[in-house]
Amino acid sequence: MSKNQALITFEQNGPFFPMVAAFLASSVGLGPVFDASNPLKLSREQAAWFSGKIASPLAIDLEQVRMMAGAAGVDIALRSLCCMLVNTAYDTVQPKNDQSPEFEFFRHARNASSHGNKFSFIKSEPSRPASWRGTVIDHKLKGQSNPLHGTLCFGGLLEPADAIFLLSDIEQKCT
């Protein structure tokens, strides 16, 4: 690890640990799956199995997974993982929302995650000051007048590392 890289940890009993662990494991696996040279040698002869209680178990051949991944693209896949992570994480700690600027920023990132990864402000939003680590969402510009309205959250204002650091900062506020 270089001196410029930050080390971050989540407590195993903290609210975000299982989500962040799943996010990291999933995102680390994206590289080989999206590599056109197919280093994992994914094929129709291999399958991923998913159990079902209501529907029958499902097997998806790994060549199909590789083709779907290639069609989506690694950037879109990683942004989708960020959205799923932030959305679920927010719902986990929403009762602890202290309406601080950091939590408001988190709320807006979560809302963007729920709206196709795009900021979407109704006419009364943003309603309170929202900022995190120097990045501000202007609460004086409402609805479509806000310059973030309609822009990407992940792959725009934020990147995957930001999701992890945001959750780390919010977890510190919640414990």
pLDDT of residue 71: 78
pLDDT of residue 72: 79
Would you say 151 and 118 are in contact if contact means Cβ atoms under 8 Å apart? yes
Those residues with Cβ within 8 angstroms of residue 19's Cβ, 6 or more apart along the chain or in another chain = 85, 88, 89, 92, 167
pLDDT of residue 1: 57
* One-letter amino acid for residue 153 of the chain: C
Give me the residue spans of the domains in the chain: 17-174
User: Which pLDDT tens digits describe the chain residue by residue (175 residues)?
Assistant: 566 777 788 999 999 999 999 999 999 888 888 888 889 888 899 998 999 999 999 998 888 888 887 777 889 999 999 999 999 999 999 999 999 999 999 999 999 999 999 999 999 999 999 999 999 999 999 999 999 999 999 999 999 999 999 999 999 999 8
pLDDT of residue 3: 66
pLDDT of residue 63: 85
Would you say 15 and 168 are in contact if contact means Cβ atoms under 8 Å apart? no
pLDDT of residue 109: 98
The CA distance from 70 to 62, in Å, is 12
